[in-house]
Structure 1
Amino acid sequence: MGTIVDDHFMVCTDCLMIIANDDATGLDHFLDEESAAAREREVRQSIAAAQRDKRYIVVGDSEHDEEFSTSSCDCCNTTLADSRHHCVLMT
C-alpha cells in the first residue's frame, strides 16, 4: 500500500483518459492527427514528470470531480476551462 502525497490531484479529461486507460484515442475527435499526436506526447510527458521519484497517479473518487473548472490541470497544466477529475498522487 502506498502513501498519499496529494489527495486532491485534479486532472483534465485528456490526462484522465491516459491515466485510467492508457488510451489517447479520444484526442483525435477534436484535433487533427498531427495535433492529437503532439497533445498525446505533451500529456504523457506530464504524467511521467508527475510520477517521478516512484510516485504514481491513480484515479480517485468521481464524487470529487468538478463538472466545470477554470483551474489548471495539476498534471499537464492546461488552463482550458473544462471538467477536472479527482485523482490521487501516491508513492
Structure 2
Amino acid sequence: MVIIIDDAFMVCTDCLMIIANDDASGLDYSLGEEEAGAWEREIRGAIAEIQRQVGQIAVGDGDRDDEFSSSPCACCGIRLAGWRHHCVILGSGREH
C-alpha cells in the first residue's frame, strides 16, 4: 500500500524537471556547461538522499504550485525566489 508521507513538498523548477522527466537539459540555458553539470549532480544527489531516507518523490498537483516564493526548495535547498512546484513524497507505510 502506497501512502503520501509529505503532501507539501515544494520544489524549484530545476528539481521538478529532473523529478518529473529525468531531464536536466534546461540547466545549461543560464549556466555554463561545467556549472550546469555540477548543479545537476547536486540536485540528483539531493533527490537520491531524500528518496533513500524518506520516500519516493512524485509530481503533485499543479494547481498547488506557487508562482513566486522566497521559501527554499524542499529538495535542493536553493533560496532564490521563484516558482515552487507541488510534489509529494510517497512511501509504503510500513516504515511509519
TM-score of the superposed pair, with normalisation by structure 1: 0.96
Secondary structure of the residue aligned to 1:67 is strand
Distance 1:25 1:72, change over 3 A: same
Where 2:74 maps in the other structure, the secondary structure is coil
1:10-29 aligned at under 5 Å gives the runs 10-29=10-29
For this pair of structures, how many residues does the alignment match?
A: 91
* Counterpart for residue 49 of structure 2: 49
Q: Which runs of 5+ in 1 are unaligned?
A: none
Q: Give per-residue Cα distances to partners, 1:32-61, cap 9 Å, x unaligned.
A: 000000000000000001101471011000
2:62 is the counterpart of 1:62: yes
User: Which residue of structure 1 aligns with residue 6 of structure 2?
Assistant: 6
Q: Normalised by the size of structure 2, how large is the TM-score?
A: 0.91
8 A Cα contact 2:11 2:75, kept in partner: yes
What's the RMSD between the two structures over aligned residues? 1.0
**Matching residue's letter, 2:49:** A
Unpaired segments of 5 or more residues in structure 2?
Answer: 92-96
SS of equivalent residue, structure 1 residue 39:
helix
